[in-house]
Amino acid sequence: MHNKLILLFSLLLFMGCNKAPNKAITKAPKNVILLISDGTGLSQISAAYYYKNTPPNYSRFEHTGLITTHSSREDITDSAASGTAFASGEKTYNGAVGVLEDSTKVENIVEIASKKGVKTGVVSTSSITHATPASFYAHVTDRDFEEQIALQLLNSEIDYFAGGGKKFFQNKMDEINLFNSKKAKEFHIDTLQISPYESIKSHKKQGFILSDDGMPKMSEGRGDFLSKATMLGVEFLHQNDTAFFLMSEGSQIDWAGHDNDVNYLISELIDFDELIGRVLDFAEQDGETLVVVTSDHETGGFTLAGENYITNEGKTYSSYKKLEPKFSTGGHSATLVPVFAYGPGAEQFSGVYDNTDIFHKIIQLAGWTQ
């Protein structure tokens, strides 16, 4: 009995010394990182389990849920209505960014949190003025007004942004270069590459606009932009232990779904899974950060079907041995999409609820209610 206790004690001691202990999980999150994979249903996520060479980071979550995604008018949402649901907790029509059915502005989480002294940022692999990131800082009746959205970004509370979309700032219809505007001067805006933390840390606000429209595909050399820009944002916003909210989007899983392009989809999904890994590594060490990972809707009606084959009798069967993923639509679908959460309050994201509840849960847990 005595020996067994000593053995147990030594084992615990050994396990304890093995790794620097993570900070204890606090009750309420101080920081929130929202990761959105545009157009990603359960089948897209499942693809990581069959096509990624290393264990998917999705497996690191203990708390999962499902959300309904319909818009105020349509069964099938678009990214603007669903982005507005996440950012403002309100249902609106497809195409609407930060405005309600009657076109009135609805306050977003960036506006709400920044009043509490929280630093805020957005990162995407689309143009930074695209519907999903725009929902977190802009108010327009139509998502296609990207030049207006660009102007609103510079006038917003956002402290850090990274993505594409140079043409919506520089080559506008009215020939006004927004990079020369007074508001843009509050930012340090880089258009060539992501800089090291040391060279941006003293800037008041920081932006990176690295392509004319969307960022390149993974297959065209985007590299680790998404992870790098996100983790730099975390470091920049969290200086001196300041509370922060950061939304980072894997935008092109949706585009691959629209294109019905399996290889494009898988490479973008794996890039997003890498981002999850980096963010969870940070959150585990930090202990005060809530991480929520979800999607605005599913795209493509994607399914991990088996390869079709024809028997000797001429019948078509589907193989159970070899996968041949297929799509059922070139648009979005109405399927429920998964939610994954880690950190203080993560258990609140279990269950089946609506996309607008993501907003309400986050601001309640973080204490950002008005």
Q: Which residues bind Mg ion (CB under 5 A)?
A: 38, 79, 132, 251
Residue 129 or 260: the one with the smaller Cβ distance to Mg ion is 129
Q: Which is nearer to Zn ion, 159 or 254 (CB)?
A: 254
289 binds, among Zn ion, Mg ion, none (CB under 5 to 8 A by kind): none
Give the residue with the Cβ less far from Mg ion, 38 or 273.
38
Select the residue whose beta carbon is closest to Mg ion and give its number: 132
254 near Zn ion, judged by CB under 5 A:
yes
Nearer to Mg ion, 300 or 345 (CB): 300
Residue number with CB closer to Mg ion (57 or 251): 251
Which C-beta is closer to Zn ion: that of 156 or that of 252?
A: 252
Closest approach of Cβ 296 to Zn ion, in Å?
8
Residue of minimal CB distance from Zn ion? 254
Ordered alpha helix ranges (H), 79-194:
79-88, 109-114, 131-134, 146-155, 167-170
Would the CA dihedral through 344, 348, 351, 356 be positive or negative? negative
- Residue 156 contact, options Mg ion, Zn ion, none, Cβ 5-8 Å cut-off depending on partner type: none
Rg of the chain on CA atoms, in Å: 22
Residue whose C-alpha is closest to residue 251's, from 193, 212, 299, 318: 299
Q: Which residues pair with 293 in a beta bridge?
A: 35, 340
Residue 312 CB, nearest distance to Mg ion (Å)? 47
Exposure letters 294-303 (e unless 16+ CB within 10 A, then b): bbbbbbbbbb
Q: Are 368 and 109 spatial neighbours (Cβ–Cβ below 8 Å)?
A: yes
251 binds, among Mg ion, Zn ion, none (CB under 5 to 8 A by kind): Mg ion
Length of the chain: 370
- Residue 157 CA to residue 321 CA, distance in Å, equals 52
Contact yes or no for 42/325 (Cβ under 8 A)? no
286 is a contact residue toward Zn ion (CB under 5 A) = no
Q: Segment contacting Zn ion (CB under 5 A): 175-183, 252-260, 262-270, 320-328?
A: 252-260
Instruction: Provide, rounded to whole angstroms, the least separation between the CB of residue 269 and Mg ion.
Output: 14
Least distance in Å: CB of 259 to Zn ion? 10
Taking the least distance from each CB to Mg ion, the nearer of 79 and 211 is 79
Strand order from edge to edge, sheet including 205-209:
187-190, 205-209, 160-164, 119-127, 244-250, 31-37, 289-294, 337-342, 63-68, 351-354
Q: Which stretch binds Zn ion (CB under 5 A): 7-15, 82-90, 242-250, 254-262?
A: 254-262
How far apart are alpha carbons 266 and 282 in whole angstroms?
A: 25
Part in contact with Zn ion (CB under 5 A); list of ranges 91-99, 203-211, 248-256, 320-328: 248-256
Closest CA to 323 of 303, 306, 301: 306
Interacting residues toward Zn ion by CB under 5 A: 254
